[in-house]
A = this chain, B = another copy of it.
Amino acid sequence: MLPSLTDEQRLLKESLERFRQQDYAFEKRKTLLARLGAADDPVWAQLAELGWLAATLPEEHGGLGGSHADLALLMEQFGRGLVTSPFVPTVVLGGTILRLAGSAAQQSTILPAVAEGTTRLALAYLEPPGHPDPACVATRARREGDGFVISGEKLAVLYGNVADHLLVSARTSGEVGDGHGISMFLVPADAPGLAVNAYRTHDSGWAADLRLERVQVSADSLVGAMDSGLETLEAALDAGTAAICAEAVGAMWHLHDMTLDYIKMRKQFGATIGSFQAIQHRMVDMYMKCQLAQSMALAGLAALDSSDPIARRRAVSATKVQIGRAARHVGEEAIQLHGGIAMTDDYAAGHYFKRLTMIRLMFGDEDYHLRRYRHSTAD
């Protein structure tokens, strides 16, 4: 996906390809999914062992200090291989928040453990009724003694049930919708008062709805400055969004390639269906959507390095819109051009389609990001 690769990136790419084609081959996936999120999840252990959990984390905390180009590589290959893991919540969402706003103590205890694969993180920001704007926080954190007491509800927390620590957004002042007054907290998964309702997601991952009833946390569990957590939260969500967009591009190319192979082979009425012009032109449209999506995924990831948050928001939202629409088109067409076989559980296409659809729903859909794009202006 990247316009050019360094030698190191070429090596990284090769090992990622080997992993997804061999260790995570589609035939093995069902078995591996049964252990997804378990303490001894073999995939997670392997991601740690191969250094991929550490790849983009800062060097001073056990990471390899990789760039967003490395993140792009990882995510694209995870997309192509339908690699299902808590990578995004742990490394991208959690990692970004701690990197940007964590105290020295938080960073030095948690980030190395993340890099080693011994700690998993999750981000609890979404709340009923499900509006993806991170400023829509009703969960409250009140000062009590030298700590805080947090109460509220969180929705669809990705891998919230398998995380060791939850990063929780809560309102320390203001009202739902206010940009100011949001603080981030690092909450241990076993904190009393935290109820976790876990469920599998359509893409075979995990999510959880959380209920926090007077969850008590210490003062040093505050991440970053009080009342000013939104900026960090937005930066993390933008990183997560750009990451899953890169993943989606990988998944789309994989569906594109599968479909192309299939129509070259499948015969109907005595000819391969790929010889029918209507099918050809639709295949070309899929190809074009993949190319355009890839272009925007690059722009979205590049914007994470921008020092201008408005430019970053615009680029990431434009990316999510483009990728979401392309994902719908490519996913639906891949199923349709295959026909019945792609409707079955044994065939990979439907699972890629489900993952693409979940990516559309994550961190705000096209409609939300179209609005965010338009309203992210300086003037």
Interface residues of A, Cβ cutoff 8 Å to B: 276-281
Contacts and interface: CB of A to CB of B under 8 A. Distances in A.
Contacts of A279: 277
A94 B280 CA distance: 52
5 contacts: A276-B277, A277-B279, A278-B278, A278-B280, A278-B281
Interface of A is mostly: helix
A285 to B, nearest CB: 11
A287 to B, nearest CB: 15
A297 to B, nearest CB: 29
A282 to B, nearest CB: 8
A91 to B, nearest CB: 44
A281 to B, nearest CB: 5
A74 to B, nearest CB: 38
Nearest to A284: B278
Contacts of A276: 277
A253 B279 CA distance: 27
Nearest to A279: B277
The 7 lowest CB-CB distance pairs between A and B, nearest first, are A277-B278, A277-B277, A278-B281, A278-B278, A276-B277, A278-B280, A277-B279
A279 B281 CA distance: 10
Nearest to A275: B277
Contacts of A277: 276-279
A267 to B, nearest CB: 15
Contacts of A281: 278
A37 to B, nearest CB: 45
A333 to B, nearest CB: 14
Nearest to A281: B278
A241 to B, nearest CB: 30
A292 B283 CA distance: 28
A294 B15 CA distance: 59
A278 B276 CA distance: 8
A237 B128 CA distance: 45
A276 B277 CA distance: 6
A279 B279 CA distance: 11
A276 B281 CA distance: 11
Contacts of A278: 277-278, 280-281
A279 B280 CA distance: 12
A277 B273 CA distance: 11
A277 B276 CA distance: 6
A277 B269 CA distance: 14
A286 to B, nearest CB: 14
A211 to B, nearest CB: 36
A278 B278 CA distance: 4
Contacts of A280: 278
A121 B27 CA distance: 75
A281 B276 CA distance: 11
A227 to B, nearest CB: 40
A281 B277 CA distance: 10
A126 B160 CA distance: 58
A280 B280 CA distance: 13
A278 to B, nearest CB: 4
A274 to B, nearest CB: 12
A215 to B, nearest CB: 44
A269 to B, nearest CB: 11
Nearest to A280: B278
